[in-house]
Chains A and B, each alone.
Chain A
Amino acid sequence: MARMKFLCDVERCIDCNGCVVSCKEGNQVPVGVNRRRVITINEGEPGEKSISVACMHCSDAPCIAVCPVDAIYQRDDGIVLVNKETCIGCGYCFMACPFGAPQFPSGQVFGARGAMDKCTFCAGGPEETFSDKERKMYGQNRIAEGKVPLCAAMCATKALMAGDADKVANAYRERVVKRGSGANAWGWDQAYKKK
């Protein structure tokens, strides 16, 4: 079984935020929720780097470990999904996540957090595939359509890659060899290293 992974090439990301916009628009994400965002360090200085981050769909995911109601689960292909009907909005997954991926829409009773929302790797949710309910609650299910996630599909510089881990790693390795420089992809040690 293929293992789905994200990879953001720090050398290529130009902070255009296209991935953020396409995700938000394509999945009709609630107001105040950003499933993906771009972080820039050393802005305006030599050595400025940008990186696009969403849920990394970790192996041995911390969010699954801390969820008190077992609302988060991992598919066989590594994609981590949340069941919004089980989630109680306690926020523990946000505290456990090394990438700040879990998001919470506000505007519920007493301003309480609603069910957690995060990147689904454009793989929908636990509802029936291609159903209206799935689309409304979780967004598109592009994986079931055989497409890569929106953010990676539209990335202009192809900094953001998504898909089968081996293929993504190979493409990145070729780039690194051609550039004659580089290091392991950002976040991979943290997200995918088996303990």
Chain B
Amino acid sequence: MKRLYSFLLPAAMVLFAVIAFAGDPQILLSPGPEPSTATFGSINKVFTGDWQQYGQLFTDWQGGLFSRVFLLILTIVPALFLLHFILIGAKKFSHEGSPVFFFGLFTRFIHWLAALSFSLLVITGLMVIFGKFIGGGPLVMTGRSIHLLSALVFAVTAVFMFFIWLKDMLPMPHDILWMFIMGGYLSKKKKPVPAGKFNAGQKMWFWLATVGGGVMAWSGYQLYAFDGMTDQLRLMAILHNFLGAALIAFFITHLYMSLFAIKGSLGSMITGYKPQEEVEILHSRYKM
């Protein structure tokens, strides 16, 4: 009797299996499709995505383009300004007359906090980009930590700057005119330039630093936290690099303008006052 059962039970199981899988006979006939390019392709999709799309792009650009773009900006932009300084030179304004109040105490405080954190962001960012020339290791690793801390500080100041200056930074029709004459910086003559409290160049810098800074913070956070799919991280790295390059170009411009192009203009961000003549020429439409 026992023997009969031991024969019947497996037989019943096989019968059951044949009935159960009758609708899908393939599983009984073959162990599955043979490996093919299609199978390998579907394996790829599971963990590396479509590498050829953004992976290759990121590899090509990070492997040479980005560092070259930054090198170009760090050399060509200062060279152009040096040429400008030699050929045209600094604008000098009389400090006679009643000075015009431009920047309140809080504005100046926020500006300098932003300036400090932004400078650190630029320096530590460049440390990562040109890391191989300073040997990498703990030095650049520390740079990365400082990059994160400064980004947190700058993100807060960028929000303040955005709302402090938003009204004065809205684009105006005369900004186009300012662009055409390049703000009068290409001539030595002191002719009134079409600009309100801020000129078109300052407005570009403002929008790039606040809104662009926000995008930098957003993409930087994802690169820091590795928060997202690999393809998304690749796009974020590309975005972070190109926007960073643009920011550094404008940062150098801002430095040149405040330190060299207009003699003594740095003082307005320290004392809060601009000389009357400077306002009349460079911010001719500002209502004093």
Partner-B contacts on A (CB < 8 A): 10-11, 39, 41-42, 46-49, 51, 53, 62, 65-71, 85-92, 94-100, 104, 109-113, 181-183, 186-187, 190
Give me 25 A-to-B residue pairs in the complex whose CB atoms sit less than 8 angstroms apart, sorted by A's number: A11-B34, A39-B47, A42-B42, A46-B27, A49-B39, A62-B63, A66-B63, A67-B132, A68-B131, A70-B136, A88-B141, A88-B144, A92-B62, A95-B230, A95-B233, A96-B55, A96-B62, A100-B47, A109-B145, A111-B225, A112-B148, A181-B34, A183-B37, A183-B39, A186-B43
A71 to B24, CA, bound (A): 53
Which residues of chain B are within 8 angstroms of A104 by Cβ–Cβ distance?
A: 226
Partner of B224, one of A39, A66, A96, A112: A112
B50 to chain A, nearest CB (A): 10
Nearest B residue (CB) for A111 = B225
Partner of A41, one of B37, B43, B128: B43
B283 to chain A, nearest CB (A): 42
- Flag if A65 contacts B47 (CB, 8 Å): no
- Flag if B24 contacts A46 (CB, 8 Å): yes
A90 to B131, CA, bound (A): 11
- Flag if A49 contacts B48 (CB, 8 Å): no
Whether, in the assembled complex, B33 has its beta carbon less than 8 Å from a beta carbon of chain A, the answer is yes
A11 to B34, CA, bound (A): 8
- Flag if B59 contacts A41 (CB, 8 Å): no
- Flag if B43 contacts A96 (CB, 8 Å): no
- Flag if B137 contacts A51 (CB, 8 Å): no
- Flag if A65 contacts B62 (CB, 8 Å): yes
- Flag if A88 contacts B39 (CB, 8 Å): no
Chain A-chain B contacts (Cβ-Cβ < 8 Å), number: 131
- Flag if B40 contacts A69 (CB, 8 Å): no
Majority SS at the chain B contact face: helix
Which residues of chain B are within 8 angstroms of A190 by Cβ–Cβ distance?
A: 44, 51
- Flag if B128 contacts A90 (CB, 8 Å): yes
- Flag if B32 contacts A41 (CB, 8 Å): no
Whether, in the assembled complex, B237 has its beta carbon less than 8 Å from a beta carbon of chain A, the answer is yes
B287 to chain A, nearest CB (A): 47
Interface string of B49-76 (1 = CB under 8 A from A): 0010001001100110001000000000
- Flag if A68 contacts B128 (CB, 8 Å): yes
A89 to B233, CA, bound (A): 15
- Flag if B32 contacts A91 (CB, 8 Å): no
4 new A-B contacts, CB < 8 A, other than A88-B143, A183-B36, are A49-B43, A89-B141, A96-B55, A183-B40
Which residues of chain A are within 8 angstroms of B59 by Cβ–Cβ distance?
A: 62, 65-66, 96
Nearest A residue (CB) for B33 = A47
- Flag if B131 contacts A69 (CB, 8 Å): yes
Nearest A residue (CB) for B60 = A65
A169 to chain B, nearest CB (A): 16
Which residues of chain A are within 8 angstroms of B136 by Cβ–Cβ distance?
A: 68-71, 86-88
Nearest A residue (CB) for B63 = A65
Partner of A62, one of B36, B42, B55, B145: B55
CB-CB under 8 A for A98 and B35, given A46-B24, A70-B132, A112-B148: no
Nearest B residue (CB) for A8 = B43
